[in-house]
């Protein structure tokens, strides 16, 4: 068997192992170990498994991940997400589908404190869905908006996926994070337009709130807005600090986490349980991500030995001479694999194959990074394995079937098609802000 054939067999083996519930990190690392034993010898494989995990984890750029996660979990556990939804509800509840619009915009704002889509959806889902259901919102809309707007968590900085992409693609993580700002806002805007249009055309989706009640709530608006100041401070501190080049991503994350602790302390919301739960949540999530990433790094090294990246680069390079064709090919690949794999595994599995092709065509890797994160986010919403939908399902329990949530998400997926077309047609949406940093 040639090295390339072993590489192809490894794809099938990994998918098979994942299908029988082997943890993804074990599947990737185990196949890499066996593959290298077959290609070289067991000593090379031992050296790989003995040194790679430490070398991978002992990496300063990666330390942004636990810090971003910690900041998000403190912001959630100390009630910032709650204040945010309350303020958004008071300001936007007068619009058609006002609570759904408020949820969408609250997710976009919370994304500036959270680096993970799943965490954003979980945080907002617990707060917003019961409110919308109480108001008589259609179940698909109520759940679909949180699952979909939760994906903004990875697009609007901070973002764990951008950090990982930046390390693998060897491009500036700061520029990647800043590149996500406009695409994230664009997505939120298109979602908002869709929600308002749908609810205007079909008011039964979202029964309007009594005008008298809205008028009664109006005086509370400014007070609610004042309670959101911690998030504004976080946004200014993090995005501003990164954009101005004052702080590196890790420093922004650590400073943001300290700020979140201090703010929740000032507001009287910090207690031992908040402190403990935030730390455990952030540290567990980090180790969970890194366990997969260590396997993926070993698998990447194995794939390089098989010559797979060069082979695929040549194959697609001959065919997709036009960059648009390559983007279409990549989007199809992500769409199909995204239906089954989690975003992290998918990112780490596909980058070794796709990056050489994009480099071969001299395409901008920051633009590609934004597209990849967008594709991964779409994968969080597509059936049968849509992690954000599963998170919402775990929030609502047995009251709403999975099919209803997927049906609600379908409208947002249609919006994603528009967003992706705009991002591909106008790379400036992603690249304008990073270009002003030079």
Partner 1 sequence: MRVGYGPTRTTSRPRPSAEGRCKVRLQRAIKSWIGSVDKINRALSVPVNCLMWLACFSGFLMMAHITIDVVGRVLFNHPFQGTIEIVSAYYMVAISFLPLAYITRHEGHIVVELFTRGLSKRRLFRLDIAVNIVTLVYLTVFASRATVSAIGQTERGEMWETAAGFVDVWPSRWLLPIGIAVMALFVLYKIFEDMRQVRQNSGETAP
Which residues of the chain form contacts with partner 1 (CB under 8 A)? 17-26, 29-30, 33, 46-47, 49-51, 53-54, 57-60, 62-63, 66-67, 70, 246-247, 250-251, 254-255, 257-258, 276, 279-280, 282-284, 286-288, 290-292, 294, 340-342, 344-345, 384-385
Rounded-to-integer distance, Cα 179 and Cα 434, Å: 6
Q: Which is nearer to partner 1, 19 or 222 (CB)?
A: 19
CB 162, min distance to partner 1, A? 18
CB 105, min distance to partner 1, A? 29
Apex 321 CA angle, 316 and 325, nearest 5? 75
CB 369, min distance to partner 1, A? 22
Q: Which is nearer to partner 1, 344 or 420 (CB)?
A: 344
Q: Which is nearer to partner 1, 179 or 254 (CB)?
A: 254
HSE-CB for 192 with a 13 A CA cutoff: 19
Rounded-to-integer distance, Cα 216 and Cα 425, Å: 46
Q: Which is nearer to partner 1, 67 or 178 (CB)?
A: 67
Residue among 343, 330, 365, 351 at smallest CA distance from 175:
365
CB 172, min distance to partner 1, A? 17
Rounded-to-integer distance, Cα 289 and Cα 160, Å: 10
Q: Which is nearer to partner 1, 101 or 349 (CB)?
A: 349
Residue among 85, 90, 79 at smallest CA distance from 150:
85
CB 419, min distance to partner 1, A? 27
CB 334, min distance to partner 1, A? 17
Within 10 angstroms of residue 139's Cβ, the number of other Cβ atoms is 18
Q: Is 183 exposed, middle or buried (0-12, 13-18, 19+ CB in 10 A)?
A: buried
CB 53, min distance to partner 1, A? 6
Q: Which is nearer to partner 1, 67 or 99 (CB)?
A: 67
Rounded-to-integer distance, Cα 7 and Cα 373, Å: 25
Rounded-to-integer distance, Cα 32 and Cα 49, Å: 9
CB 430, min distance to partner 1, A? 28
Three-state SS at 321: coil
CB 33, min distance to partner 1, A? 7
Q: Which is nearer to partner 1, 70 or 102 (CB)?
A: 70
Backbone angles phi, psi at 267, to 5 degrees: -80, 0
Backbone angles phi, psi at 210, to 5 degrees: -55, 125
Q: Which is nearer to partner 1, 67 or 128 (CB)?
A: 67
Q: Which is nearer to partner 1, 197 or 246 (CB)?
A: 246
Apex 132 CA angle, 130 and 137, nearest 5? 130
Residue among 413, 391, 393 at smallest CA distance from 401:
393
Backbone angles phi, psi at 28, to 5 degrees: -65, -50
The DSSP letter of residue 240 is I
Q: Is 212 exposed, middle or buried (0-12, 13-18, 19+ CB in 10 A)?
A: exposed
Rounded-to-integer distance, Cα 61 and Cα 46, Å: 26
CB 21, min distance to partner 1, A? 5
Q: Which is nearer to partner 1, 63 or 300 (CB)?
A: 63
């Amino acid at each position: 068997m040639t090295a390339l054939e072993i590489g192809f067999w490894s794809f099938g083996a990994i998918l098979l192992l994942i299908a029988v519930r082997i943890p993804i990190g074990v599947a990737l690392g185990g196949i890499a170990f066996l593959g290298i034993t077959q290609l070289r010898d067991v000593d090379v494989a031992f050296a790989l498994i003995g040194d790679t995990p430490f070398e991978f984890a002992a990496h300063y750029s990666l330390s942004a991940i636990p810090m971003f996660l910690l900041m998000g979990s403190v912001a959630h556990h100390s009630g910032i997400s709650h204040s945010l939804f309350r303020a958004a509800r008071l300001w936007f509840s007068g619009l058609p589908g006002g609570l759904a619009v408020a949820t969408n915009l609250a997710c976009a704002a919370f994304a500036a404190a959270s680096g993970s889509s799943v965490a954003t959806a979980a945080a907002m889902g617990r707060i917003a869905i019961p409110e919308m259901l109480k108001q008589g919102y259609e179940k698909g809309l109520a759940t679909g908006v949180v699952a979909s707007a939760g994906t903004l968590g990875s697009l609007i900085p901070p973002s764990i996926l951008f950090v990982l992409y930046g390390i693998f693609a060897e491009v500036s993580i700061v520029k990647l994070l800043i590149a996500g700002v406009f695409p994230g806002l664009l997505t939120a805007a298109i979602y908002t337009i869709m929600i308002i249009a749908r609810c205007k055309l079909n008011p039964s989706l979202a029964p309007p709130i009594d005008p008298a009640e809205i008028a009664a709530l109006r005086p509370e608006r400014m007070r609610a807005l004042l309670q959101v100041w911690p998030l504004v401070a976080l946004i200014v501190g993090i995005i501003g600090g990164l954009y101005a080049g004052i702080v590196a991503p890790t420093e922004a994350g650590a400073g943001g986490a300290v700020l979140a602790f201090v703010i929740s302390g000032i507001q009287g919301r910090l207690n031992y349980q908040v402190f403990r739960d935030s730390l455990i949540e952030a540290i567990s999530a980090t180790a969970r991500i890194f366990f997969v990433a260590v396997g993926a790094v070993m698998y990447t090294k194995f794939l390089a030995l098989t010559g797979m990246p060069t082979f695929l680069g040549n194959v697609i390079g001959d065919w997709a001479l036009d960059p648009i064709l390559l983007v279409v090919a990549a989007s199809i690949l992500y769409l199909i694999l995204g239906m089954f794999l989690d975003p992290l595994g998918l990112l780490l599995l596909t980058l070794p194959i796709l990056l050489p092709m994009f480099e071969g065509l001299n395409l901008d890797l920051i633009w590609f990074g934004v597209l990849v994160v967008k594709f991964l986010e779409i994968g969080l919403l597509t059936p049968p394995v849509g992690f954000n939908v599963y998170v919402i399902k775990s929030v609502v329990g047995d009251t709403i079937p999975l099919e209803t949530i997927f049906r609600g998400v379908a409208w947002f997926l249609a919006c994603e098609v528009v967003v992706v077309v705009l991002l591909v047609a106008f790379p400036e949406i992603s690249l304008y802000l990073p270009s002003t940093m030079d």
